[in-house]
């Protein structure tokens, strides 16, 4: 009974430590996780490398996977690029196995873990920002080590009642027939799968396996067989999480499951050779290290096989799970709300697309003098309403002050774009004469503003196509963009001043009988509308790049410094 309690307690402490440590590391990474993943995934190969490295650092393949889903939904990454990150995450998550093999089962770390827990908790309670997050990571790491020590004690007691001979013999062991060996291998694979499915952590189940081998409860070959099953078992959590999720989440979950199954099939076919090689190496390398290496090599081989076939693999997954969602529905996936930074970036890009559509409609109106089709304005307003509702579902605010400012600016841009769309929608009938100011200079200034706003919005939309040199996350005001924003501000400011003069001149024309009062007010109203259109386009554009009112007013003055 005490053995079972020690094993269960050790696993529980290990899982708790992993959770706290992962949360702390993710908080320390902050938006850098999303930014690095976006920049790193220009190609599937670079995505796999950086996906593995980042997963190793934050110790959470699920964090990398969920961030990847958000990047794909926001069109920051293609599905094919996202697959590279998911493949790499499978390799990075094997890092903790090395920690268990090289340190955890060799040294009793309980005496060191307790002071580390105290220091970590003090940092967590008394610190702030990254210091607080580092305290959580340290306390979680110490709990993980303490859990390993407890697990090691429990496995020592288990080894007194269970030995390798009590478990099924596996394929590749001398004296074991092919059929019985294959049955034994399959049995242990199923046991490993169930272990991971119950614990919801392949790292914890592999720690149990390595500890069991260290205690003598399982043989080297039996431990390798359990690792195959445990590696497959990690896909169960992804499969469950994909139920009711977006098509993108389902596709990545399916890709994750297929990757695990294909890697397992390769491991089973090669198991007799692998078992013989591990026995030979065991003469000079201890078994714990071999099991950790087997876990890593197992995943590396799977990535090496699938990575060159990523394009084909992508087509297969997309055919198996076709998407009926619109681009807007895919982008506003509720699963991305777990990352406020990605949610804000997604909303920003959707606002930019609507702004581009609205300014195009305004340009058409100015060129033809007729109102564009009303359904475009209605659809734009509906899309902005969905973006507003999407942001309303955010339960956690962004972590840093800069990210909170970006969210505020995105909300400002959303508000100004919605007002612009409402003005364009108005109550006029499609094809009927639009209320455009008769002064060509006023209309020309408005058209200049619309052209500049279109260019600004287009620069954001163009960021969707990642290349090796592209900046996947915007908010960077380049000299070229500063020129566009300055031109937009200048046109809007001139139009505001011109509108006031135009109003006075138009109303004055009533006295000598050049205009009727009704005509004069109609022209003044049209000029006022153009002024508001230009103003909202200007403010939406500047806020899309995180510029407040003071910054927007200084653009023209700063052009020389930037150039």
The residues, any chain, with a CB within 8 Å of residue 162's CB and separated by 6 or more, are 217
Token output for 303: 């990535």
Which pLDDT does position 464 carry in this prediction? 46
Measuring CA to CA, which residue among 384, 379, 349, 366 is closest to residue 464?
Answer: 349
Is the pLDDT confidence value at 128 over 50? yes
Plot region of 266 (φ>0 → left; ψ -120 to 50 → alpha; else → beta): alpha
CB-CB contact of 494 with 445 (8 Å) = yes
Q: Whole-angstrom Cα distance, residue 473 to residue 460? A: 9
Q: Tokens for 485?
A: 């924003």
**Concatenated DSSP letters of 223-274:** HHHHHHHHHHHHHHHHHHHTTT--HHHHHHHHHHHHHHHHHHHHHHHTHHHH
Q: Which residue, chain included where needed, has tokens 């496995």? A: 155
Q: Enter the pTM of the model.
A: 0.61
Residue 330, Cβ neighbours under 10 Å: how many? Answer: 17
Residues 212-225: tens digit of each pLDDT: 888 788 888 888 89
Alpha-carbon distance 34 to 474, whole Å?
Answer: 12
Distance CA 264, CA 377 (A): 53
* Comparison of pLDDT for 246 and 505, the residue scoring more: 505
Whole-number average pLDDT of the chain: 75
Grade residue 471 by pLDDT with cuts at 50, 70 and 90: very low
pLDDT digits (tens, 9 = 90+) for 84-97: 888 888 888 787 77
**Residue pair 90/264 in contact by the 8 Å Cβ criterion:** no
Q: Tell me the pLDDT tens digit for each residue of 398-435.
A: 767 777 888 888 899 999 999 988 888 874 444 444 45
pLDDT for the residue numbered 522: 81
Domains of the chain, each with CATH number or no CATH: 2-320 (no CATH), 339-562 (1.20.58)
Q: How far apart are CA 113 and CA 94, in angstroms?
A: 22
Alpha carbons 282 and 184: distance in angstroms, whole number: 22
Among 24-33, 470-479, 496-505, the range scoring the smallest mean pLDDT is 470-479
Q: Is a pLDDT exceeding 80 seen at residue 10?
A: no
Residue 438 pLDDT greater than 70, yes or no = no
């Amino acid at each position: 009974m005490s053995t079972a309690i020690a094993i269960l307690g050790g696993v529980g402490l290990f899982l708790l430590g992993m959770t706290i440590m992962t949360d702390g590391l993710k908080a320390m990474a902050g938006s850098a996780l999303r930014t690095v993943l976006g920049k790193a995934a220009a190609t599937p190969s670079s995505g796999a490398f950086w996906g593995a490295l980042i997963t190793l650092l934050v110790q959470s393949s699920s964090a990398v996977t969920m961030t990847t889903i958000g990047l794909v939904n926001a069109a920051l990454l293609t599905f094919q690029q996202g697959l590279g990150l998911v493949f790499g995450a499978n390799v990075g998550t094997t890092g903790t196995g090395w920690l268990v093999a090289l340190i955890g089962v060799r040294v009793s770390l309980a005496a060191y873990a307790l002071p580390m827990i105290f220091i970590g908790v003090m940092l967590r309670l008394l610190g702030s920002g990254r210091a607080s997050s580092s305290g959580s990571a340290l306390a979680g790491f110490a709990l993980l080590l303490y859990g390993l020590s407890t697990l090691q004690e429990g496995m020592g007691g288990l080894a007194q009642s269970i030995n390798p001979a009590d478990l099924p013999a596996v394929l590749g062991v001398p004296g074991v027939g092919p059929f019985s060996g294959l049955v034994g291998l399959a049995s242990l694979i199923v046991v490993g799968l169930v272990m991971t499915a119950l614990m919801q952590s392949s790292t914890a189940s592999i720690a149990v396996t390595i500890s069991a081998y260290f205690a003598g409860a399982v043989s080297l070959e039996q431990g390798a067989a359990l690792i195959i099953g445990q590696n497959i078992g990690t896909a169960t959590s992804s499969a469950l999480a994909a139920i009711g999720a977006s098509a993108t989440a389902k596709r990545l979950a399916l890709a994750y499951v297929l990757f695990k199954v294909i890697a397992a099939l390769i491991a089973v076919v090669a198991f007799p050779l692998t078992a013989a090689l591990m026995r030979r190496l065991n003469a000079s390398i201890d078994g714990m290290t071999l099991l950790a290496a087997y876990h890593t090599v197992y995943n590396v081989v799977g990535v090496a096989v699938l990575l060159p076939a990523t394009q084909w693999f992508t087509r297969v997954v997309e055919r198996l799970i076709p998407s009926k969602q619109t681009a807007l529905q895919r982008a506003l996936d509720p699963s991305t709300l777990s990352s406020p930074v990605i949610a804000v970036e997604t909303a920003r890009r959707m606002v930019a697309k609507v702004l581009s559509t609205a300014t195009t409609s305004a340009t058409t109106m100015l060129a033809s003098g007729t109102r564009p089709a009303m359904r475009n304005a209605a659809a734009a307003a509906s899309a902005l309403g969905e973006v507003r509702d999407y942001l309303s579902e955010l339960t956690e605010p962004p972590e840093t002050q800069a990210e909170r400012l970006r969210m505020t600016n995105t909300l400002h841009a959303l508000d100004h774009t919605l007002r612009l769309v409402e003005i364009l929608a108005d109550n006029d009938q499609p094809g009927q004469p639009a209320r455009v100011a008769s002064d060509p200079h006023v209309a020309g200034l408005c058209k200049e503003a619309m052209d500049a706003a279109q260019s600004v919005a287009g620069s954001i939309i163009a960021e969707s196509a990642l290349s090796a040199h592209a900046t996947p996350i915007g908010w960077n005001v380049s000299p070229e963009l500063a020129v566009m924003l300055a031109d937009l501000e200048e046109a809007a400011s001139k139009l505001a001043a011109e509108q006031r003069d135009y109003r006075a001149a138009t109303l004055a024309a009533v006295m000598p009988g050049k205009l009727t009062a009704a005509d004069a007010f109609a022209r003044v109203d049209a000029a006022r509308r153009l002024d508001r259109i230009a103003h909202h386009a200007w403010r939406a554009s500047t806020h899309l790049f995180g510029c407040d009112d003071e910054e927007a007013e200084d653009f023209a003055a700063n052009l020389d410094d930037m150039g």
